[in-house]
Amino acid sequence: QSPLGSFLSGVRQRYPFIQLAGHKGDFISGQGGIIYKKSSVLEKAALESLMSDVLKPMVPLYFKAVQIEDSQGSKAEYLEMQDLLGNFTDPSVMDIKLGVRTFLESEVIKTTRRPDLLQKMMKLDPDEPTEEEKEHGITKLRYMMFRERLSSTNTLGLRVEAVKKAHEPPRNDFQRVKLRSEVFRVIESFFPPRDTEPELHDRVKRRILDRLEAMRDKLPVSSFFKCHELIGSSLLFIYDSTGKAGVWMIDFGKTSRVDKEIHHDLPWKLGSQEDGYLIGLDNIITMIGDC
Ligand code: ATP
Ligand code: MG
Ligand code: MG
């Protein structure tokens, strides 16, 4: 029995909700193509302003914030939005995180040296820390930058978070997928196989590329995009065996308004607030084109 069982009692879903990333408790699937995501200040503000921006067709429709009470009687705010899986049957789903950086500058401004982060780094690569760092520990910035170098985030401006193919269990073991050729193989394997299902392959790829190109055209003229840094935001790719396919921008939990204009196609330097969103988008468009 879920803690939100009372809220959901009598509600039956036609199809199961597939959640690839994030904390399991943060989503509740509703009825009629609606889901609820645990609210945060940044994501609520972002979705609100996206509903009156040219990017509206590229994101899940956002309806409102609602208070939901669990069985213990404590209330939390959730964001009611469109369930993008709603129109699909047994979908294949892929979450790709865009951008050359996945942490906020505000998360890494502390210069405290942390022995716990040194230990985590040593576990991943005992030769990474210098002798001086082994003695004094490492900052959060050093740790985050090290982690991002393991994946394709810095180099390609994107990383594969998770993939769920129809009738297969989800996979999220892509932390060390870094080379362009490795990323390409994962992306290629998400699409219907060209040799056994050539028509479906072409149809799905064409629809997805059309959507990505429409997105690429809208982003530079979006007033939302001009004044927000998009950190940890994903593209959610969905298709099913009927050839229905789409891709949407999701996850604005670390998307925030900034005072200056962001270019989105530059590498990041501490203080620049650049996110490299378009670097990742351009790379994904090229890679899918080559699939
Ligand atoms: P994290 O920050 O760890 O990436 P999060 O808690 O911010 O996670 P999201 O990334 O927004 O959560 O979503 C997690 C997963 O839930 C996505 O990978 C996707 O599978 C699913 N999901 C999110 N939003 C939607 C939506 N509107 N429709 C359908 N599925 C969704
Ligand atoms: Mg996410
Ligand atoms: Mg998030």
Q: Is the CB of 42 under 6 A from ligand 1?
A: no
Q: Return residues with CB closer than 5 A to ligand 3 (ion).
A: 251, 253
If you count them, how many residues does the chain have? Answer: 291
Instruction: For residues 136 and 118, give the distance between their C-alpha atoms in angstroms, rounded to a whole number.
Output: 9
Query: Residue 15 has what pLDDT?
Result: 72
Which pLDDT band holds residue 13 (cuts at 50, 70, 90)? low
Query: Residue 59 has what pLDDT?
Result: 98
Say yes or no to pLDDT of 107 above 90: no
Query: Residue 2 has what pLDDT?
Result: 46
Which pLDDT band holds residue 228 (cuts at 50, 70, 90)? very high
Q: Is the CB of 22 under 6 A from ligand 1?
A: yes
Share of the chain above pLDDT 90, in %: 86
Q: Is the CB of 138 under 6 A from ligand 1?
A: no
- Of all protein residues, whose CA lies closest to atom 14 belonging to ligand 1? 21
For residue 163, the CA-to-ligand 2 centroid distance in Å is 13
User: Mean pLDDT for the chain?
Assistant: 93
Confidence (pTM): 0.92
For residue 127, the CA-to-ligand 3 centroid distance in Å is 31
Instruction: For residues 274 and 189, give the distance between their C-alpha atoms in angstroms, rounded to a whole number.
Output: 31
As given in the structure block, the two tokens for residue 251 are 């996850």
Average pLDDT (123-142) is: 95
Q: Is the CB of 33 under 6 A from ligand 1?
A: no
Q: Which tops the pLDDT comparison, 25 or 92?
A: 92
Which pLDDT band holds residue 14 (cuts at 50, 70, 90)? low
Say yes or no to pLDDT of 30 above 60: yes
Query: Residue 72 has what pLDDT?
Result: 83
Q: Is the CB of 26 under 6 A from ligand 1?
A: yes
Say yes or no to pLDDT of 160 above 70: yes
Say yes or no to pLDDT of 9 above 50: no
For residue 23, the CA-to-ligand 3 centroid distance in Å is 9
Say yes or no to pLDDT of 165 above 60: yes
Beta strands in the chain (DSSP E): 27-29, 34-38, 62-69, 75-82, 92-98, 158-164, 228-231, 234-239, 245-250, 254-257
For residue 251, the CA-to-ligand 1 centroid distance in Å is 6
ipTM exceeding 0.90? yes
Q: How many CA atoms lie within 13 A of 221 on its CB side?
A: 7
Query: Quick one: which atom of ligand 1 is closest to the CA of 23?
Result: 6
pLDDT in tens, 231-285: 999 999 999 999 999 999 999 999 999 999 999 999 999 899 999 999 999 999 9
Query: Residue 106 has what pLDDT?
Result: 87
Query: Residue 207 has what pLDDT?
Result: 98
CB 129 within 8 A of CB 121: yes
Q: Is the CB of 150 under 6 A from ligand 1?
A: no
Query: Residue 7 has what pLDDT?
Result: 46
For residue 255, the ligand closest to its alpha carbon is 3
DSSP notation for 119-160: HHHHHH-TTSS-HHHHHH-B-HHHHHHHHHHHSSHHHHSEEE
Share of the chain above pLDDT 70, in %: 95
Contacts made by residues 185-192, CB under 8 angstroms, sequence distance 24+ = 186/160, 187/94, 187/96, 187/160, 187/284, 187/287, 187/288, 187/291, 188/291, 189/163, 189/165, 190/92, 190/94, 190/163, 190/165, 190/237, 191/239, 191/288, 191/291, 192/239, 192/241
For residue 142, the CA-to-ligand 3 centroid distance in Å is 21
For residue 79, the CA-to-ligand 3 centroid distance in Å is 13
pLDDT in tens, 53-69: 999 999 999 999 999 98
